[in-house]
């Protein structure tokens, strides 16, 4: 992945993709002092760009550092890079991290670096499988208590248990894993939020120890536009037996129906399909209104 063509925006400059390097003594690598975003461009426009950039700033603030570029500057860099890369539909990855000036847990004076990479990442899950519903394992690791980890930050460190869980699931032939939280309640997948359907109503866990995803909030809005009732509440794993449909939401995953979680089975039903289509329509750039 480090040898692709094109450019990466790094600390205010466009550098050749293969030259966007950091030192091995980077604090972000040793101590996970890094935060990132995941965005998608559709038809040449990055969906909810400013919301993502604001979350990047907030994620850094939670980790105790300030990103040295304003939200407007980062928005502009993302948009400019998208054009420079020549993509209409692409995945956008901004990241900020503490640099390599000082070694040790404390790194008060290390430079805060920012980079943005954009590449073509058509589907997070196998597109054919996506329509049939993907299969999830149940992860061994649990989302930590917000008193144990800064769960509102999209912090690199929080993905350690996600990668372990996803790898374990993939080793057993699953596409991903559903994670419980520290209380044993249903939380989310390793890179996406989770929803269930029962008797025409949508149920989703209250995001009190994991990201309240931008896609999650968008899909809740789309569901309410269709007058579907959306209930945010604590969901116990025993309830999975009674749910009829299940789907994931996330920038990379978009709306992905789920057919299995461990021993439980779900149909790819109308609500999941409607929201999948509504989301595909919602992300397209709005046509500029022609001047009269």
Which residue in this structure is represented by tokens 């039903």?
269
Q: Which of 154, 166, 172, 201 is catalytic?
A: 154
Q: Is 153 in the site for ligand PMP (CB under 6 A)?
A: no
Q: Is 83 a catalytic residue?
A: no
In this structure, is the dihedral angle defined by the CA atoms of residues 45, 47, 50 and 56, taken in order, positive or negative? negative
Of 107 and 139, the one with the shorter C-beta distance to ligand PMP is: 139
Helix (H, G, I), strand (E, B) or coil at 186: strand
The helix/strand/coil state of 178 is: strand
Residue 217 burial class via C-beta count within 10 angstroms: exposed 0-12, middle 13-18, buried 19 and up = middle
In degrees and rounded to multiples of 5, residue 203 shows phi and psi of -120, 135
The length of the chain, given as a count of residues: 292
Told to check if 46 binds ligand PMP by CB under 6 A, we report no
- Looking at 87-95, 110-118, 126-134, 210-218, which segment touches ligand PMP (CB under 6 A)? 210-218
Stretch that binds ligand PMP, among 7-15, 102-110, 191-199, 284-292 (CB under 6 A): 191-199
Tokens of 275: 């929201």
Binding to ligand PMP in span 57-76, by CB under 6 A: none
Other Cβ atoms less than 10 A from the Cβ of 64: the count is 10
Residue of 92, 155, 214, 255 that binds ligand PMP (CB under 6 A): 214
**The one among 59, 185, 215, 245 contacting ligand PMP by CB under 6 A:** 215
How many Cβ atoms sit within 10 Å of the Cβ of residue 145?
13
DSSP state, residue 232: E
Q: How many residues bind ligand PMP, per CB under 6 A?
A: 15
Q: Does 191 bind ligand PMP (CB under 6 A)?
A: yes
- 155 binds ligand PMP, rule: CB under 6 A: no
Residue 245 found at the interface with ligand PMP (CB under 6 A)? no
Q: What residues act catalytically?
A: 154
Which residue ranges make up the site for ligand PMP (CB under 6 A)? 38, 162, 188, 191-193, 210-211, 213-216, 249-251
């Amino acid at each position: 992945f480090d040898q692709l063509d094109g450019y990466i925006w790094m600390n205010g400059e466009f550098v050749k993709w293969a030259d966007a390097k950091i030192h091995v003594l980077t604090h972000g690598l040793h101590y996970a002092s890094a935060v990132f975003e995941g965005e998608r461009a559709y038809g040449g426009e990055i969906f909810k760009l400013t919301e993502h950039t604001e979350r990047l700033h907030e994620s850094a603030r939670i980790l105790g550092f300030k990103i040295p570029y304003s939200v407007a500057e980062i928005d502009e860099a993302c948009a400019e890079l998208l054009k420079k890369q020549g993509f209409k539909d692409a995945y956008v990855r901004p990241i900020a991290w503490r640099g390599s000036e000082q070694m040790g847990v404390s790194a008060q004076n290390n430079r805060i670096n920012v980079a943005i990479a954009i590449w073509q990442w058509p589907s997070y899950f196998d597109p054919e499988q996506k329509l049939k519903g993907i299969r999830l394992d149940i992860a061994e690791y649990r989302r930590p208590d917000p008193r144990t980890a800064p769960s509102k930050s999209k912090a690199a460190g929080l993905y350690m248990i996600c990668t372990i869980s996803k790898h374990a699931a993939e080793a057993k032939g699953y596409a991903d894993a559903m994670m419980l939280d520290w209380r044993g309640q249903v939380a989310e997948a390793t890179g996406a939020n989770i929803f269930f359907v029962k008797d025409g109503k949508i149920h989703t866990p209250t995001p009190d120890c994991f990201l309240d995803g931008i896609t999650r909030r968008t899909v809740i809005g789309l569901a309410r536009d269709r007058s579907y009732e959306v209930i945010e509440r604590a969901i116990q794993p025993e309830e999975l037996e009674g749910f009829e449909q299940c789907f994931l939401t996330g920038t990379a995953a978009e709306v992905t129906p789920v057919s299995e979680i461990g021993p439980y089975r779900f149909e790819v039903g109308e609500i999941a399909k409607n929201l999948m289509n509504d989301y595909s329509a919602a992300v397209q750039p709005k046509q500029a209104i022609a001047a009269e």
